[in-house]
Amino acid sequence: MKTFEYIVESLDGDYANLRRTDEESGECKLVARALLPPETGEGTRLKYELLQYRIME
């Protein structure tokens, strides 16, 4: 299973715009905030692995 790293570009109500750190495309992925850790804010670095988002240390 693959692992992806994201950074939270912006928060918009119940959704967050995530940008992959390993791609140059610049496109954001819209993700429901309910799927993210509660302490997620703008600029937070996330790791997506095994169908879960975790905050990177």
Q: Residues 2-29: pLDDT tens digits?
A: 999 999 999 999 999 999 998 887 799 9
Residues 12 and 1: their CA atoms lie apart, in Å, by 29
Contact criterion met (CB below 8 Å) for 8 and 17: yes
- Tell me what the mean pLDDT of segment 17-43 comes to: 94
Give the pLDDT score at 51: 94
25: Cα within 13 Å, side-chain hemisphere: 9
Tell whether the model's pLDDT for residue 36 goes beyond 90. Answer: yes
Copy the structure tokens of residue 2.
């693959």
Mean pLDDT of 31-41: 98
Cβ–Cβ < 8 Å for 7, 19 = yes
